[in-house]
Structures are given as structure tokens and as C-alpha cells.
Structure 1
């Protein structure tokens, strides 16, 4: 019984820490302004509890990122069009990229902090690998489109957190313009495959 109670306490502490971190990151301009001590105080737990649950600051950022991403992931895996698996590939690719871009715009500070943490390479992050694999698998369903792996990398590069932060923060590009620019880029890439003649297999 004590073991079950300790597991319940750990789960409750984890939820409290994530909720506190979410609120702090939402209120402050930069995730760098939020310390582990701030999160611990807001959650009503000791700093040691956070380190045991998440390992380090990067682990906390990843966990919070995953929580915020969950609704999109559910829509991608089993939801209706345009994100869900029943959507035709040529329509699903731009919808997936738009969802990534909007998520990065809505979570600019968190996304930038996460992509800059750890190895310093966003390409080694778990969430990047999932998006790349998904996008590549959808691109492979489009006849005549060559090298779906590279194409997936190239399209996702347009949604990198540092680029989104530069465009939205430094250049003040409006959200809807950024979405339109990404949609236009995606449409041009998808239109670049060879024409499908009679008897041609992609």
C-alpha cells in the first residue's frame, strides 16, 4: 500500500510541476527567465522532486513540450481530416506542416529553448524524429516525388524554432503570412515531381 501511495504522490507531483511550469513559461517572455527553483516554488515541491521526475531542465522542457503537443499527435494518429490518416497525401502534407508551424508559433519560447538544449541539434530530438518519419511516410505515398527523406527534412527546416522566432520576433512577419508562405513552398515542392504519364509508376 505505501508503494502505491508513493506512486500516486509522484504522479500528482509530476502533474503539479508540469502545470506550474506551463503557467510560468506562459507568463514570462523567455523560458530562460524561469528557473527550476521558480517551478518548484510554484508547484509546492522541492527542487529534488523535479530532478527525480524529469532528470534536468531539458527533461522538464521535453515533458512540457510533449504535454502541449498531445492534442496534435492525437489528431494526426486518429483524427479526422485534414490531419488524420484518412486525408489524401497531397492534402495531408501541407496540413501537417501548418500544424507544426502553428504549434511553434504558439509555443515560441518553449520550442526555441528545447531545440537549443542538450546536443544543440534539433535533428536529434525525439519529437523531430517522429515528425520526420510521419512526413516521410506521407510523402512516399505521392507518386513521382523523389527522395522523400530529404524532402521531409527540407520542409521541416522551414518550421525550425529559431527560424520561426526570427521571422515572428525580429522581422515581425504576421502569423497568417507565414502560414501562407509555408503553404506556397509546400505546394511548389509537391508539384516538382515528374508528370505522371500512361503506365508510369512512381
Structure 2
């Protein structure tokens, strides 16, 4: 049996059920954004756990004080929901008027959690690490090959590499940089995590598929 058996390409048509929720529904599934349901936060917003139709989901509420920077949210969501690949996070819903995205919940957290052995979890075996690295590469190849405009992640890091119940890679937050005005990508307004950035991006503030690689 080969060490890694990974599909290199995948059709963008995923036939996944996608639903536009009301804000009252979002509040209900997260118990009014209770701290007990909060999974964490990042540069883009806060993440909550919820239950929808007996399915556990992760609800990301984009930061309210960043609303003036977000543009064409609904059109971007229409693109996200039609992107299907086994190593990209599944988007199952959205609430466009409040800039909210709903993902399928990943039970094994992020790659960052396992690399730092959060909650005393055991280190990942080598073959699992190797497979995850290969899966990330395949997912990036898929995003970069989309036409006519490839999707650049622009903030790929262990925290954005989620793991399902089988420790299979699911990349999250892909394409978020496309929601930001391009003039924000200046030397004084770099987007992403400094420690994970392409050195050339730090120098010229221009990102491309090569920056992801």
C-alpha cells in the first residue's frame, strides 16, 4: 500500500447543500454567541461552535470594526460555495448581511494544535505529517489552477490547516484576501501572519500564487 494516495485534481462542482441563514438562526445555534460555544478568534473574526440539523458546524463572524474593508462579500461567497475539493473546508452556509460564514466542524482542530501538543495530545506520527503536507500541496495546486483567476490563500499557516476525524487536511480561510481592497496590501498594511509570510511579499507587498508556495 502506498504511503500517500492523494487525488491530484478534483471537479469544482461539489453538489453540497448550501443554505443562507437568518441572523436569528445564527444566534440560536450559537446560544446568542455564548462564550461557552466560542472556539477562538483570528485576524478575520470570531469562531463559534453550533448545531444545525443535527450537524456540528463552526460559525465565523467577521469582525464588525472591519466592515468598511470588506467588499463584494455575497459575490465571493457565491464563488466559495461552488469550490469543491477534498482538502478544502466545506462551506455549508452564510449570512451575508452580517458577514458570517458557516463551515463544517473539524473535530481534530488545527495542525497548530497538534504540532504544539495542545491539551497534552500525542505528537502526530511521521506518516500523518507527510500525508498532510502532500494534501496541502494538492489543495494549493487546485486553488491556483482555477480559472480565469486563481485563488491565492495569502495567509497559509498551521492554524488554517484543519483536521477532520481521520486527520485529513481541510484548508480554511482561502480566498479571504480577495475580499479586501487591493490598496490595503501595502508595506504598512500587510495582511497575514508575519512569521508565515513569503519574504518577497514582506519586501514588495505584492502577493501571487508563488507567495503561497
Q: If the length of structure 1 is used for normalisation, what is the TM-score?
A: 0.28
The structure whose Rg is larger is 1
Q: Which has the higher strand share?
A: 2
Q: Which has the higher helix share?
A: 1
Q: If the length of structure 2 is used for normalisation, what is the TM-score?
A: 0.27
